[in-house]
Amino acid sequence: MDNRNNFSNEKYLAARNRLVERNEDFINNIYLDIKGLPTVGIGVLLVNRQKDRSWELNYSRVNLLADIANISELDRKNLVSTLEKYTDTLDKHRDEKYQTLASFRKSNFGKEAQVVLGPISFGKNGKSSSWDIFTSEQSKMKFFLTREQTLELYNKISPEYEITLDNEILKTVNCPQEALSEEQRAGLYSMVYHGSTGKARRVADAIGDYWRGEISENMLRSRIEKNVLDAKFPIRSENELKYMEKIKERPQKHSMEKSDTNLAELDLSPTDKLQALIQGFKNDKDGTFTAKALADNADVVANFRDELRESLKQNQAQEVAQNTPQVQEERSYGGRSFG
């Protein structure tokens, strides 16, 4: 647990950038992901999803990219025009997804994309999930960034996601900013950066409940793990989970009034109650949680023991009933054979 009450912005930014760079590659050119979304640098999208799920070119980002790359006005117009045409193609094939570049090239989407963009090649970063554009001699244009320019672009757009995190995540679920450790805010930023705003809200909601003393640390850890891990993005979500587990110590005035071992007092579903117990047992180093859980739920334990005894009695009775005819039959059969 993080015992510091103060928040270090310097430490936060270092953790945030480290996590994003761990989940995204440094790609110093424009590329397509497996959904065909035009992206550049450290996962910076060049299109926006609209409310009707259509795609629109993000002109401010494209122009910012052109400024940072310091390209000519003619190249800027060519870049904007080409990406406009490609965005129309992307929108026509919205939500299509291809696991390999070969399958993408063979599809109607891929064929139309190559007409607009020129050759699409396997990413030089060695990842099969990114396909380079504007990098070959036959491309409509050639476009590259230096590592410094890639970082500058990322730093220029990051405030957009910070605003989203504060206004659309933390405020909507009543999670105060001071409830977050530097690592937890970095984890939430990563979720927002990758478009997982629903997941970020659920996790922030759990942190807010913990900060106000409504749930225990064990329950918080259980809810974090349940909501962060995503089978579709296992590596990214595991990285985020490691950051979210750096829990900030709450003020003494927010100490929990309800016992996390007395499940009857917690407003949880049966599944969540079971997960809370499992998480508590997993974290129990000295047997304290187990002993308290048994004491707080003495009636439940007693009922379980009574039911277990009754079940054992019924099983024994059934075994006797099943075996008795067999013994009688064997004896009768023996009498016939040797009488």
Per-residue pLDDT in tens (0 to 9) along the chain, 339 residues: 444 458 999 999 999 999 998 888 889 999 999 899 999 999 999 999 998 999 999 999 999 999 999 999 999 999 999 999 999 999 999 989 998 899 999 999 999 999 999 999 886 655 556 899 999 888 878 899 999 999 999 999 999 999 999 999 999 999 999 999 999 999 999 999 999 999 999 999 999 999 999 999 999 999 999 999 999 889 999 999 999 999 998 877 655 444 455 555 555 556 655 666 666 666 555 565 666 666 666 665 566 666 667 777 777 766 666 655 544 433 333 433 333
Q: What is d(CA 295, CA 106) in angstroms, rounded to the nearest whole number?
A: 65
121-122, strands of its sheet edge to edge: 44-45, 38-41, 27-32, 131-132, 121-122
Q: What pLDDT is recorded for position 339? A: 38
Q: What pLDDT is recorded for position 194? A: 92
Q: What is d(CA 117, CA 104) in angstroms, rounded to the nearest whole number?
A: 14
Q: What is d(CA 272, CA 310) in angstroms, rounded to the nearest whole number?
A: 28
Residue 34 contacts residue 109 (beta carbons within 8 Å): no
Residue 112 contacts residue 85 (beta carbons within 8 Å): no
Q: What pLDDT is recorded for position 217? A: 92
Residue of 223, 314, 234 lying closest to 269 (CA atoms): 223
Q: What pLDDT is recorded for position 329? A: 39
> What is the 3-state secondary structure of 121-164?
EECCCCCCCCEECCCCCCCCCCCCCCHHHHHHHHHHHHHHHHHH
Q: What pLDDT is recorded for position 312? A: 72
Residue 188 contacts residue 203 (beta carbons within 8 Å): yes
- 3 state SS of 256: coil
